[in-house]
Amino acid sequence: MPETTTDPRFVVVANRLPVNRVTDADGGTSWQTAPGGLVTALEPLMREKGGAWIGWIGAPDEVVKPFRHDGYQIVPVELSEAEVEDYYEGFSNGTLWPLYHDAVAFPEYHREWWDAYKQVNKRFAEAAAASAGHGATVWVQDYQLQLVPAMLRELRPDLKIGFFLHIPFPPIELFEQIPWRRQIIEGLLGADLVGFQTPAGAQNFLRLVRKRTDNRVERYRVFVKDSHVCAARAYPISIDVQGFHDLAQSPEVKAESEALLEELGHPKNILLGVDRLDYTKGLRQRIRAVGELFASGQLDPDETVFLQVATPSREDVEQYRVLRDDIDLLVGRINSQVGGVGRPAISYRHAGFPRATMAAMYRIASVMLVTPLRDGMNLVAKEYIACHPGRAGALVLSEFAGAARELKRAYIVNPYDLDGLKETIIEALTDPYAERSKRWRAMQRQVWNHTIDDWANNFLRDLEGEPEPEPEPEPAEPEA
């Protein structure tokens, strides 16, 4: 187990560390803070409380000693190449990821993957037990580490243990496919507080606990026998709203957005999609719907461009290679059939871009298309609202994204319904300014009033103290 020179009062345990290794021109290496809302929210707490972050560096079969970074401790956990294949690519992303996303791809169940998952979770739990100070708060993150809470409680019963699931938690009918379902439930019950993106996720978990364990459940609390009370509640995650807004208002991003407009030929309308290239994101359905709108003439390629960014993801996995090839062929076929003067109807970018470039894209998008088949939250929707400078942007949002529960004035759509998706895109483009503006202002209020800092503070308040009473059900959104 790793040794540290500090006595951290706040420990984060995540699959990946919050730093990236960079190599300078002379061949020297250093560590830089990785971009991302979670790091942005938790770093101040780490520095304030004397924290440690436990995670994998992203390279197999490499040992890196613990080190200090920006006022807190970095504790690397080693993974072998075989463990990366079985624990990470296998059980985490070949079993849990598709199953938790409504089984939109077929989840596989292999005993060797499960064995690796247990082994790696134990290593993370041991690292946390060795690193945390007496009575410290430990916050475990996401689906790769669902066994850690119970393992850690057994090693260190003095700790306050929280867990947050960043992806959806499935209904009983799907979850019960897992041969090791009881072990995962018991792993999560090791926490004092388990957080989900939506109330539905928390309720799915509590139903499973009632059905598959002998523990008493009262409302959102589970009384784990001879041990502790585990609460399960929703904590919808958000973004660094002010940070994104300021970035989008910077001269550099404004200049980049103007250059991008020039590159696209200054179209009247820009539809924008920003996703990881993943089968859960609904890319096939979205591109088909937009292609049909161009083919039917409802969208004029001389006036409208669809800019779709698909960040490469898990390119060594067969399902993702097939998806990449399918999207390439689909975009190519549409662009060969319809196209504006001197530009394609669909500008497809299969590449990753820095945050500033994404902010430039958000600035110029007339309509943002966020249409996953299932998503825990989807922060792209909130990033667009924080970055877009106008007063009447439009967001077409899948009802199966967690964000739909908060952004109720978006143009909500079922991504499986291609005709409905087409109608909604046209509605978002053609609605009167007053209607779009009313919707936009409501979404802006929601995003600005619920930031990533609020999310982290609310979770840690409930973990470290007495949770506030369960909120009353929200009233239905009035019709416009």
- CATH 1.20.1250.20 assigned to domain 10-234? The reply is no
H helices of 176-300, in order, are 181-189, 199-212, 241-248, 251-264, 283-296
d(CA 335, CA 202): 44
For the 241-450 domain, the top CATH level (class) is: alpha beta
Q: Residue 468 above 70 pLDDT?
A: no
User: CA 10, 118, 40: angle at the middle one, nearest 5?
Assistant: 30
Contacts of 114 (CB under 8 A, 6+ apart): 91, 95, 179, 180
Helix (H) or strand (E) holding 26: none
User: What is the distance between the alpha carbons of residues 79 and 426, in angstroms, rounded to a whole number?
Assistant: 48
Name the nearest CA neighbour of 148 among 120, 118, 117, 125: 125
> pLDDT digits over 244-278, tens only?
999 999 999 999 999 999 999 999 999 999 999 99
pLDDT tens string 325-366: 999 999 999 999 986 567 899 999 999 999 999 999 999 999
Phi-psi region of 297 (alpha: psi -120 to 50; beta: other; left: phi over 0): left
The CA angle 305-307-313, to the nearest 5 degrees, is 160
Residue 291 — very low, low, confident or very high, per pLDDT cuts 50/70/90?
A: very high
* Position 12 pLDDT exceeds 70: yes
Picking from 409, 399, 410, 408, the residue whose alpha carbon sits closest to that of residue 374 is 399
5/398 Cα distance (integer angstroms): 47
Give the mean pLDDT of the chain: 92
Q: How far, rounded to the nearest angstrom, does the alpha carbon of residue 35 sit from its chain's CA centroid?
A: 13
- For the stretch 373-412, pLDDT in tens is 999 999 999 999 999 998 999 999 999 999 999 999 999 9
pLDDT per residue as tens digits for the range 168-200 = 999 999 999 999 999 999 999 999 999 999 999
Mean pLDDT for the stretch of residues 15-37: 84
Burial bucket for residue 264 (CB in 10 Å: 0-12, 13-18, 19+): middle
Classified as helix, coil or strand, 477 is coil
Mean per-residue pLDDT, 16-35: 84
- Answer whether 0.85 is exceeded by the pTM: yes
Furthest-apart CA pair in the chain: how many Å?
72
CA distance 54 to 66: 9
Task: Please state the domain extents for the chain.
Answer: 10-234, 241-450
